[in-house]
Amino acid sequence: MQIDIAVLERVVAIVGGILVAIVSAIALKNDWKTPGMDNQVFKIMLALLCLGAVIATLAGVGVLGNFPAKA
């Protein structure tokens, strides 16, 4: 059985994206009440990291960046 490399890339991207999104969301939740300027910046960065992981997952699924082939 031959596996299409693009399908394999998408599957790994989806699984990894979900994992990273969950892990960064948990890290954000754990850090939510920490004080200090550096921690405030970390919270913004973690939120954007989570967003990035969701975007990568959606791209892997084909919801984003799924353009029709040109004729």
Partner 1 sequence: MAVATLPHGAAHDEGVDRLYDETRSLRLQGFLLFLISDCVLFSSFIFAYLYMRNSGQGWPPPGISRLDVAFASLNSVVLFGSGATMHYALENWKHNNFGRYAFFMISTIILGAMFLSGQAYEYTNLYFKEHVSWAGSGIFGASFFTLTGMHGFHVSVGVLYLIILFLQSIHGVYTKDKYFGLTAGTLYWHFVDVIWVVLFSIFYLI
Residue 9, classed as helix, strand or coil, is helix
**Closest to partner 1 by CB, 1 or 6:** 6
Q: Is there binding between residue 19 and partner 1 (CB under 8 A)?
A: yes
Q: Is there binding between residue 37 and partner 1 (CB under 8 A)?
A: yes
Q: Is there binding between residue 6 and partner 1 (CB under 8 A)?
A: yes
Residues 46-65: x where in contact with partner 1 by CB under 8 A, - otherwise, as a string:
x-xx-xxx-xxx-xx---xx
Residue of 27, 29, 35, 71 interacting with partner 1 (CB under 8 A): 27
Let me know: does 17 contact 60? Beta carbons within 8 Å: yes
Note the helical H segments in the chain. 5-31, 37-61
Q: How far apart are CA 35 and CA 55, in angstroms?
A: 29
